[in-house]
Each structure stands twice: as C-alpha cells, then as structure tokens.
C-alpha cells in the first residue's frame, strides 16, 4: 500500500501523563493518517509516576473525542508493534532543537531494524512548544496550577497522586 493517506501510524511515548502538547500532536496526526495508535510505552527506565494502566486510562479519556485515534500499551520495540499493527509510520512531536539529537538517533535506529519504518515529525501549536510531562509533574508537586497544561481528568489524577 502507498504510505500516506490510507496508512496506520503509531504515536509512541511515555505519556506520564498525557498533556495538551501530546493531544495537539495526536490531533494533527489524525488529520493525516487513516488511523493513529497512541502507544503507551511501559518504559520502566524512565521511572514513571503513573503505572502503564493509569497512563492508558488518562490517554483514552483525553483522546476520546479525537477521531481515528486509539490508545494501547506495549512492552517492546516500536518496530515490533508496527509489524503487529501493520503500521507504516511513527509519529513524534518536535518541540525544540534540543529534541532533535535523540529523535534522529531513534528514527535511524528504527529504520535500521525495519526498513519501511518512516518517522514523521510534527510540530505542536506554539503555545505548547515548552510543555512537557516532566514540567507538569514538577509544578503539581509544588502545588502549582496545572489546568492550563493538562485536561481535567489528568489534573484530578495528578492531584490524587501527589497528595499521597
Ligand atoms: P518519550 O519518553 O518517548 O519522549 P513522551 O511522552 O515524553 O515520551 O513524548 C512522546 C512524544 O510526544 C515525543 O515525540 C515528544 O516529543 C512528544 N511531545 C511531548 N510533549 C510535547 C509537546 N508539548 N509538543 C509536541 N510534542 C510533544
């Protein structure tokens, strides 16, 4: 199949937790690909605040109104997930130049493992360029307002989590 209009794209990430920046990219991707699968990577090396199950639940709730987007969790290589779901593209969000080194490394490594794996970089709306899950967690831990960065469902879970 010709890649592009009719193809399936994976959108892998830690999503710890999902933010308006992630959602912005998912919406843009859904306008390009026929189906987008947000893949919550278990990623224990990153020591996530939320369990994979919690991250999936929040992402599902946050993306429920975005057409043609579904959310799964996956414990394995992105290229194996691509094979399993017949995906041809990997979506990644690019914020600043500082993202590029790491993203290039991953994109070329994924292509080495699966030649057909194309990584597609999308830029968020300017208001989300400096937004990251890490920042949101730091603000929440110090009692700051996070409602402008994450949807309500995430805000509630975050408040419960940091209160423990
Ligand atoms: P990872 O650990 O794989 O980087 P993240 O959950 O931090 O997982 O990010 C997943 C993807 O979403 C990455 O491509 C990242 O660049 C992108 N992303 C995260 N926040 C934003 C944002 N504010 N704007 C655009 N893309 C973003």
Task: Examine the residue annotation and report whether 46 is marked as an active-site residue of this protein.
Answer: yes
pLDDT of residue 86: 96
Q: Are 55 and 83 in contact (CB under 8 A)?
A: no
133 catalytic per annotation: yes
| pLDDT higher than threshold 80 for residue 77 | yes
How many A from CA of 42 to the centre of ligand 1? Answer: 15
Q: Which atom of ligand 1 lies closest to the CA of 102?
A: 4
Banded pLDDT at 2 (limits 50, 70, 90): very low
In this structure, the residue with its CA closest to atom 24 of ligand 1 is 21
Ligand 1 atom closest to Cα of residue 11: 11
Length of the chain counted residue by residue: 164
Q: What is the DSSP string of 134-145?
A: HHHHHHHHTT--
- In tens, the pLDDT along 36-53 reads 999 999 988 889 999 999
* Residue range 127-149: mean pLDDT, rounded: 96
Mean pLDDT of the chain: 94
C-beta separation of 62 from 18 below 8 A:
yes
Which residue, among 63, 109, 62, 75, has the nearest Cα to 90 in the 3D structure? 109
Catalytic residue selected from 3, 7, 95, 132: 95
Q: Is 3:89 a contact under the CB 8 Å cutoff?
A: yes
> Phi, psi (5° rounding) for residue 40?
-80, 110
Q: How many CA atoms lie within 13 A of 105 on its CB side?
A: 5
Q: What is the pLDDT of residue 6?
A: 62
pLDDT number for residue 28 = 98
Residue nearest atom 27 of ligand 1, based on CA coordinates: 93
What is the pLDDT at residue 67?
95
pLDDT exceeds cutoff 80 at 120: yes
Please indicate whether residue 95, judged by its CB atom, sits closer than 6 Å to ligand 1. Answer: yes
pTM of the model as a whole? 0.94
User: Residue 58 in contact with residue 153, Cβ under 8 Å?
Assistant: yes
Tell me the C-alpha distance between 62 and 15, whole Å.
11
Please give the backbone phi and psi of residue 59, each rounded to the nearest 5 degrees, phi first.
-65, -40
If you search the block for the tokens 């794209």, which residue do you land on? 9
CB of 68 within 8 A of CB of 34? Answer: yes
Query: Is 157 noted as a catalytic residue in this protein?
Result: no
CB 26 within 8 A of CB 20: no
Active-site residue 137, yes or no?
no
Which of 28, 35, 133, 155 is catalytic? The answer is 133
């Amino acid at each position: 199949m010709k890649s592009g209009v009719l193809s399936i794209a994976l959108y892998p990430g830690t999503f710890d937790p999902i933010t308006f920046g992630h959602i912005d990219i998912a919406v843009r991707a859904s306008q390009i690909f026929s189906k987008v699968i947000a893949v919550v990577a278990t990623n224990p090396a990153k020591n996530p605040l939320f369990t994979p199950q919690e991250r999936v639940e929040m992402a599902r709730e946050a993306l429920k109104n975005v057409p043609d987007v579904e959310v799964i969790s996956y414990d394995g290589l992105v290229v194996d997930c691509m094979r399993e779901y017949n995906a041809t593209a990997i979506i990644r969000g690019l914020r600043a130049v500082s993202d590029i080194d790491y993203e290039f490394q991953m994109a070329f490594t994924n292509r080495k493992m699966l030649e057909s794996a194309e990584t597609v970089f999308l830029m968020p709306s300017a208001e989300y360029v400096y937004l990251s899950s890490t920042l949101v967690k730091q603000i929440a831990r110090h009692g700051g307002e996070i409602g402008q960065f994450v949807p309500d469902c995430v805000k509630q879970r975050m408040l419960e989590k940091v209160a423990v």
